C-alpha cells in the first residue's frame, strides 16, 4: 500500500462526507415516504398494486409446495383423532339435517311473505374464488395477498369470506392480485351487531387474535358465545355475514373470529355491488382506483 499523501486523504475525506450525506438523505427519504403513505395518496396505492402484481406469480409458485407440506402434516396429525372426529361429525350431521328442514320451511314461508309484501330484494351477490398466495405483515400488519384482481372483478371494499365466516375486506387491488385486510388488522373497522340482541358495535382490530367490540350500543345485552354478524351500516359490507362469537375479555367484549388466519387457503370474495362481476377490466380498474 502507498503511504497516504495529502491529496488521497482529502479524497477519502470527500468520499466519506459524500457517503454520510447520501445516508442522511436516505433517512430523510424514509421519513418523507412515511408522510406520503400517511397522506394515503392514489400514488402509493398504485405502487403497492404494481409491486404485488409483479410478485404474485412467484408467490403462486412458492405457496403451492408449502400448502402441500402443511396438508401432509395435517393428515398425519389427523390420523390419531379420526375416530372421535367421525362420531362428532355424525352427530353434527344429524343436527344440521334437522336445521336444513327448518331452513327449507322458513325459506318457503319467507318467499310467501315477501310475495304478500311486494318486497324488493337486494341485488344478488356474485362470488369470486381466489387462492391465498401470501400471508404478509407478521406481527405488525394482518393481511393476505390473493391471486385475483381487477381483471377478475375484484373491487376495493368487497367482503372476503372463508367457509366459516368473514375474513376481512379487500383493501387494495392490482390487475391480478389483491390485498385482503383481515378483521384482526390494526386498521380494520367493521360495523357489526350482536345477532341475538341486535346491539350494534364497531369491530376494531388491534393486531391481536381477537378484535375488540368498540362503541357497543348496549353492553348489558351481550352474553358470551353470542354470534356477531356484520350490520351492513356504511354500505360497504352486506348485512348478516357471520364474523365470530363474543367473548368476555379483561377490557370489555372481544370477538373470536370464525375464520383463522393460518388455515385460509381459498377465500370467496363477495361482489355485492351494483356493478356486475363480468364488467370490462378497464372499467374495473377505474372503479377500483377511484374509491
Partner 1 sequence: MRPSVFQRLDGAARNMLPAGVTLLLLILAQIPLHLPGVANIMPPLALIGVYYWAIHRPDLLTAGSAFLIGVLQDLLAGLPLGVSALVLLLVQGIVAARRRFFLGRGFGALWFGFGLVGLAASLAVWVLVSGLAGALLDPRPPLFQFLFALFLFPPLVKLMGHAQSAFLKEA
Binding site for partner 1 (CB under 8 A): 19, 22-23, 26-27, 29-38, 44, 47-48, 51-52, 55, 58-59, 62-63, 66-67, 70-71, 73-74, 132-145, 171, 179, 181, 186-187, 206-209, 260-265
Nearer to partner 1, 136 or 197 (CB): 136
For 216-265, give the DSSP string: -S-GGG--TT-EEEE--TTSSS-TT-EEEEEEEETTEEEEEESS-GGG-S
Nearer to partner 1, 108 or 129 (CB): 129
CB atoms within 10 A of CB 242: 17
Distance of closest approach, residue 191 Cβ to partner 1, in angstroms = 19
Distance of closest approach, residue 249 Cβ to partner 1, in angstroms = 12
**Which pairing describes strands 189-194 and 126-136: parallel, antiparallel, or unpaired?**
unpaired
What is the number of alpha carbons within 13 Å of residue 126 lying toward its C-beta? Answer: 13
Nearer to partner 1, 155 or 179 (CB): 179
Nearer to partner 1, 33 or 286 (CB): 33
Length of the chain, in residues: 291
Q: Which residues of 276-286 are buried (b: 16+ CB within 10 A; e: fewer)?
A: ebeeeeeebbe
Nearer to partner 1, 63 or 231 (CB): 63
Nearer to partner 1, 193 or 259 (CB): 259
Q: Which residues contact 284 (CB under 8 A, 6 or more apart)?
A: 150, 151, 153, 154, 155, 275
H or E element that contains 213: strand 212-214
Q: Which residues of 136-155 are buried (b: 16+ CB within 10 A; e: fewer)?
A: ebeeeebbbbbbbbbebbbb
Nearer to partner 1, 52 or 175 (CB): 52
Q: Which three cell numbers stand for residue 238?
A: 352486506
Distance of closest approach, residue 195 Cβ to partner 1, in angstroms = 27
Distance of closest approach, residue 128 Cβ to partner 1, in angstroms = 19
Distance of closest approach, residue 169 Cβ to partner 1, in angstroms = 13
Give how far Cα 240 sits from Cα of 14, 202, 230, 243, 244, Å.
66, 14, 5, 9, 12
Distance of closest approach, residue 117 Cβ to partner 1, in angstroms = 45
Among 127, 119, 121, 120, which Cα is nearest to 276's? 127
Distance of closest approach, residue 41 Cβ to partner 1, in angstroms = 10
Distance of closest approach, residue 46 Cβ to partner 1, in angstroms = 11
Nearer to partner 1, 79 or 116 (CB): 79
CB atoms within 10 A of CB 46: 13
Amino acid at each position: 500500500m502507498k503511504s497516504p499523501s495529502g491529496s488521497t486523504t482529502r479524497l477519502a475525506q470527500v468520499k466519506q462526507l459524500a457517503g454520510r450525506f447520501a445516508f442522511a438523505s436516505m433517512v430523510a427519504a424514509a421519513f418523507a415516504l412515511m408522510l406520503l403513505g400517511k397522506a394515503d395518496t392514489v400514488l402509493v396505492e398504485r405502487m403497492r398494486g404494481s409491486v404485488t402484481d409483479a410478485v404474485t406469480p412467484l408467490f403462486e409458485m412458492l405457496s403451492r409446495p408449502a400448502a402441500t407440506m402443511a396438508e401432509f402434516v395435517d393428515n398425519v396429525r389427523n390420523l390419531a383423532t379420526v375416530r372421535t372426529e367421525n362420531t362428532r361429525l355424525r352427530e353434527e350431521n344429524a343436527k344440521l339435517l334437522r336445521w336444513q328442514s327448518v331452513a327449507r320451511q322458513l325459506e318457503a314461508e319467507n318467499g310467501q311473505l315477501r310475495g304478500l309484501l311486494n318486497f324488493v330484494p337486494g341485488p344478488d351477490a356474485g362470488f369470486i374464488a381466489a387462492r391465498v398466495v401470501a400471508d404478509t405483515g407478521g406481527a405488525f400488519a394482518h393481511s393476505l395477498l390473493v391471486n385475483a384482481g381487477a381483471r377478475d372483478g375484484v373491487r376495493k371494499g368487497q367482503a372476503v369470506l372463508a367457509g366459516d365466516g368473514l375474513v376481512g375486506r379487500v383493501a387494495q387491488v392490482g390487475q391480478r392480485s389483491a390485498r385482503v385486510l383481515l378483521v384482526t388488522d390494526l386498521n380494520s373497522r367493521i360495523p357489526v351487531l350482536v345477532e341475538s340482541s341486535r346491539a350494534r358495535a364497531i369491530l376494531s382490530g388491534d393486531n391481536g387474535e381477537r378484535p375488540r367490540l368498540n362503541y357497543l350500543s348496549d353492553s348489558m345485552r351481550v352474553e358470551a358465545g353470542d354470534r356477531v354478524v356484520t350490520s351492513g351500516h356504511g354500505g360497504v359490507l352486506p348485512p348478516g355475514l357471520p364474523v365470530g362469537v363474543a367473548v368476555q375479555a379483561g377490557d370489555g367484549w372481544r370477538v373470536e373470529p370464525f375464520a383463522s388466519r393460518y388455515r385460509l387457503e381459498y377465500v370467496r370474495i363477495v361482489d355485492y355491488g351494483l356493478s356486475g362481476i363480468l364488467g370490462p377490466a378497464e372499467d374495473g380498474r377505474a372503479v377500483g382506483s377511484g374509491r
